[in-house]
A and B are shown apart, each in its own frame.
Chain A
Amino acid sequence: MATDLSTAAPEEIGIGDYQYGFHDSTENYTFKSRKGLDREMVEQISAMKKEPAWMRDFRLEAYDIFLSKPMPSWGGDLSHLDFQDIHYYMKASDRQEQSWDDVPDDIRKTYDRLGIPEAEKKYLAGVKAQYESEVVYGSLQEDLAKKGVVFTDTDSAIRDYPELVREHFGTVIPSFDNKFAALNSAVWSGGSFIYVPKGVEIEFPLQAYFRINSENMGQFERTLIIVDEGASVHYVEGCTAPTYSSESLHSAVVEIIVKRKARCRYTTIQNWSNNVYNLVTKRAMAYGDSLMEWVDGNLGSKLTMKYPAIYLMEPGARGETLSIAFAGAGQHQDAGAKMVHCAPNTSSRIISKSISKSGGRASYRGLVKVEAHATGCKSNVVCDALILDPESRSDTYPYIEIEQEHVAIEHEASVSKIAEEQLLYLMSRGMTEAEASAMIVTGFIEPLVKELPMEYAVEMNRLIELQMEGSVG
C-alpha cells in the first residue's frame, strides 16, 4: 500500500536524497571576500583581476544600474534574498591547471565525485571546471586548438583576445537589461569564452562544470560564445552545490552569437542544492539560416528564474528551446523561454515539460514576439505539466506579442495528473507504486530526453529517478 507521508521517516519519502550536498574546507583558499556588496567590492574584484580600465568602468556603471533597478515583483519570492549576506568573490586556488593532478586535492576529489574527469576521457572535446569564482581546470582537444577553436575562461579571454571580447561583451545582454544582469555585470568572475572559427564543426560537446562550495556564496560566471559562419558547437553546463541552511546565489549571464549558417546547442543540467537562488539571464542572437537551441534542464535550486531567449535577427534563422523543470519540496522553478522574431521568415519552437511534486511549484513563463516587419514567421509552443500530488502546483504564463498579421503561431498547453488507472496498470505488472510513478514521469519527459546525447540522457533519467525515489505518497 501507499507510504503514509505523515508517519514515514524522511529517508523513506525522498527528502535529503540530494547526492552532491557535501562540501570541502575553505581554509586554504587564496582569497575570501567579506560579505556584502558596495562600490569598493566591485573595485576590489576588478583590481584583483588586473583588468583593463574599460572593464573596470563597465563594472562600475553596471553597479549603479543594479542599485537603480527595483527587485522583480513577478516570478518567484525574492523577499528573503539578502544581497549583503553574500560573499561576492572567492578564490580557492591560485591558478588554472591543465592537468587534474595539479588541481588541489580537495577540489580534485570533488570533481572526481562529480564524475567530470571520467566524462572528459570518454566523450568530451574540452572541459572547464569552475570552483567558486574562478576556473580551476581547463582542457581542449589539441586538434580543435589547432583549428583555431578557443575555449577558455572569460577572465583569460579579456587578456588573450581583447578585441574579440570587447566587440561582443555586453552586446547581447546589456547591463540595463534587468537587475540580475546588472549585478552579474558588476561582479562577474569566471565563465566560459568560446570562439568557433568559420566552418569548424566540433563533433563532441564542450563542457563546463560549475561548483559552489562555500556557505552564503555568490557565483557570477559570465559566458560568451561566438559561433562563426557555418561553424557548429554543442556546449554543456552542469552545476551543483553543497546543502546549507542559509542561501547562496547563482546569477550568471550567458551571451551567444550564432552567425550565418552556424549552429549552436547549449545544454544545461542544473542541479543546485535546494538552498541556491538561481537567477540567470541567457540570450542568443541567431543570424541568417542559423540554428540556436537551448536544452534547459532545471532540477535543483530553491528558486530558479530563467528564460533562455533567442533573437532571430535575419531571415532563415531558427530557434528552439526544450525546457524540463522538476520542482520538489521547497522548490520553485519559474522557467521558460523567449523567442523574438526580428526578421521575416524566421521560425521558433518551444517545448516545455514540467513536473511538480511534494509541494513544489513549476511555472512556465514564455514570450513569443513578432516584430512589425517580420512577415512569414512561424512559432510553435507546447507546454505540458505533470502534477504528482495535490500539494504541488503548476502555472503557465504564456505571453504573445504579434505586430504582424502574416504569421503562424501555435500554442498548446496541458496539465495532467498521474491517473489512478496508469498506476494500477503498471503496478499490476509487478511495479511498486514508486517504480510506477517514476516510469510515468520518465515517459513524460522522454520526448525531450531523447534529444540529448546518450550520456546526458542517462544522467537526466538518473537525476529524475533520484528525485522520484521512494517518494510516493
Chain B
Amino acid sequence: MTASLKINDLHVSVEGLPILRGVSLEIRQGEIHALMGPNGSGKSTLAYTLVGHPKYEITQGSIEIDGTPLNELDACQRARLGLFLAFQYPVVIPGVKVADFLRHAITNIRNPNRKEGEGLIPMREFRKELKAMMDELGMDGEFARRYLNEGFSGGEKKRMEILQLAMLKPRFAVLDETDSGLDSDAVRVVSEGLRKLAGPEMGVLIITHHERLLEYNVPQFTHVMLAGKIVETGDASLARELHNEGYSKVRLRHPEEAAEEAARAQGRAAEPAGV
C-alpha cells in the first residue's frame, strides 16, 4: 500500500503573522512534486511547518501521514513516521562527528520505538553501510569524521543533506531549495544523488526557484504558490514555463493573491528598520 502525506487547508502564522492561508496538497509515495513561487510566497514556511518548527503555528487545517495527524507531534516524532526535510540552511553542530550523528539518527528512525539510552545499531554494520552510500554519492570518506556542517562549503552542506536522506530513507522527503547557492557541478551532483534515491518508496516535494534539479527529477506535479496559497497546479511543463517567463502571468491570472502579495511587501517595507 502506498502511503500519502496529506496537507489539508493549512493556515500557518509566525509570531502572530499569517503566512499560509489554506494550502492543500497530497503527495503519494513514488511521486515527485515541485513547489515553485516567488520569494516570500510561503514555500519555506510550508517546509518548516511540515518538519515541526515550533515557531510555525498551525492556526487551521491539518497534516497527516497515512492517516496519522502530525499537528501535535514534535519534529522527532514526525521524523520517526518517515518525514524528512533537506534544510535550505543546515546548521552547524560543533563537536559532533557526522558518523556519530548519523548512527544515532539511523538507529532512532529504524527503531521508532527506541527509548533513550538503548543500544545503537552495530558499528561494523553501520560503517559498511555509510561507506557504501558515500561511495555511491561520490563523497570522500573523510566527511564522516568531520564535525557536522562545521566549515562545510555550501555544496558540501547540501551533499550532507542528501547523504542523510540516503541513509534515513524517509517515506516523504521535502527538499527546500537544495539547489540554491550551488555552482552547476554541485547542482548536478545533488540532482543525480536525488535521482538515485527517489523511487517507488519515496514521495518527494522539491521546493525550487530553478529548473536544474527538476531536469534530473521530472515532477509529475508542479504547484505554484502565491501569497500563502497554491494558486495553480500543473505538470512539468508548468515548471518550465515559470522558469522561462517568471511569475508575471501567474500574477495576472490571480489578481487577488497578487494584490495580497503586494500588500505584504508594502507591509514589510513599512515596518521600522531593525524589527
Contact = CB atoms under 8 A, between A and B. Distances in A.
A17 to B, nearest CB: 12
A77 interface: no
A426 B93 contact: yes
A469 B84 CA distance: 26
A215 interface: no
Given A433-B76, A435-B116, A442-B96, A424 B53 contact: yes
B54 A420 contact: yes
B164 interface: yes
Q: Which of B72, B79, B164 has the most CB of A within 10 A?
A: B79
Interface stretch (A178-186, A331-339, A375-383, A444-452): A444-452
Nearest to B94: A443
Contacts of A429: 79, 101, 105, 108-109, 164, 168
A306 B221 CA distance: 65
Nearest to A465: B117
A424 B95 contact: no
A432 B96 contact: no
A419 interface: yes
Interface in B101-132: 101, 104-105, 108-109, 112, 116-117
B116 A430 contact: no
B93 A425 contact: yes
A117 B225 CA distance: 67
B256 interface: no
A11 to B, nearest CB: 13
A419 B54 CA distance: 12
Given A430-B80, A431-B108, A470-B116, A424 B75 contact: yes
A439 B104 contact: yes
Contact of A430 (B55, B79, B148): B79
Contacts of B53: 424
Interface in B44-75: 51-55, 72, 74-75
Interface residues of B, number: 33
Nearest to A430: B108
Nearest to B76: A427
A440 B117 CA distance: 16
Contacts of B108: 429-431, 435
B79 A425 contact: no
Contacts of A444: 94-95
Contacts of A470: 116
Given A422-B91, A425-B90, A429-B105, A439 B96 contact: yes
16 contacts: A419-B91, A421-B91, A425-B87, A427-B52, A428-B78, A428-B84, A429-B101, A430-B80, A431-B108, A434-B116, A436-B76, A440-B96, A442-B95, A446-B95, A446-B147, A470-B116
Interface of A: 1-2, 419-422, 424-436, 439-440, 442-447, 469-470
Given A427-B74, A439-B101, 10 more contacts: A1-B72, A421-B91, A424-B54, A425-B93, A427-B52, A430-B105, A430-B168, A431-B76, A443-B93, A446-B94
